[in-house]
Chain A
Amino acid sequence: MKQLPLIVFLTVLLYGIGGNLSAQQPLKIGSQAPEITLPSITGEQKSLSSMKGNLVLIDFWASWCAPCIQEQPELKRLYAKYHRPGSQSKNFEIFAVSLDSKRDAWQRAITKLGLPWTQVSDLKFWASPVAKTYQLEGIPFNAIIDEKGSIIALNLHGKELDQFLSDKVGK
């Protein structure tokens, strides 16, 4: 009976530690990018970790997001400029995560825009667990990760993004 307070104390302590561990850490530069494994447009599971060794832009977008659609031609231009598989310098990849909920709309947008990079989605709209993991409040949003999977930039667009890639990959 004497041990009861000790047991209560240890229970509370363990619960507290558990709670802290499960609490979500803010997404920040320098931290490891959380893994994403989702179906591609053909239904095949694709993982972000399979792109390790490359400089990867994770693009959170959707066919229904007008600003995201407007940004795609610029991403295509940057992809053409910095995507150099098999070369001695760093290679740039894009891992696009869509918050679409309708497969048709997602597929049509990819085809219409002619996007050649990896596309994944669980078609769960804002209920997608990835939206929570990456703490998305709106899209477009992106994260750039280095060869080891660490986040090195958050939400860069336009000239800023081009300059960043130029610095990291080289012209």
Chain B
Amino acid sequence: MSKEQFEVKIGLAEMLKGGVIMDVMNPEQARIAEDAGAVAVMALERIPALIRKEGGISRMSDPKMIKDIQNEVSIPVMAKVRIGHFAEAQILEALEVDFIDESEVLTPADEHNHIWKHDFKVPFVCGCRDLGEALRRIGEGAAMIRTKGEAGSGNIVEAVRHMRKVISQIKELTVMNQDLLMARAKELGAPFTLVQQVAKLGKLPVPNFAAGGIATPADASLMMQLGAGTVFVGSGIFMSEDPSARAKAIVEAVAYYDDPKKLSEISFGLKKAMEGLDIAKIPDEERLQERGW
């Protein structure tokens, strides 16, 4: 993988900034998402809230379903693979999806190894809870990072925790002397050269987005103000009472995230948001964010 090829992958992530990436389960939902101004869709058979409810093993979606969605919309189409399942990723690459999400939302296929993403021409996005996890994924070739949050919960608290953690750990690096960075890299479990790079840049070397629990325009604004390049909305749209109106509202909320007056107009009279879950009431073994390392 040449530096230029990696730059081409990051290039698409740059273009997605300030636009909403929406989970969709069929071409009809993809149509609603594109009409509402979504910047990309994530094709998956069951959105996280349903995976949580129904249980069982969650795998890559049926290629036919992905193809049908690709035929329906003109915006980028992303799809998920299980952590470590490089064969699923090879299939998605053959389908020419625009981005692959190696996602904790699906059941992990490898408990030790994530996919070696540099082997692929298609860019990858991966979830993280802290800076070490983000840099390990970038080291493996991820061209975009997102918070894990707690998918399908409708609860923003975990995404906030993860974003704040990453941002504060980046800030710490920027004020550290060179001679402390190696020890810090060891503590973070992160590749040393990436730690050096982050210390110098003051940000991740790839775009850093928010995901996991975003359900309202205000949630989107919060994540943007905390430093996210943009947001993924999983269950928040199609588990709500009026998906089309909510999708449009979140698109506008991301564009005008720092204008409270505009946000109040955008949020006005939206029908019911998805039901949320208290994180403390989700048993540890059902917390999706614990998957991957």
Are A and B physically bound partners? no
The chain A residues found within 8 Å of chain B, CB to CB, are none
The chain B residues found within 8 Å of chain A, CB to CB, are none
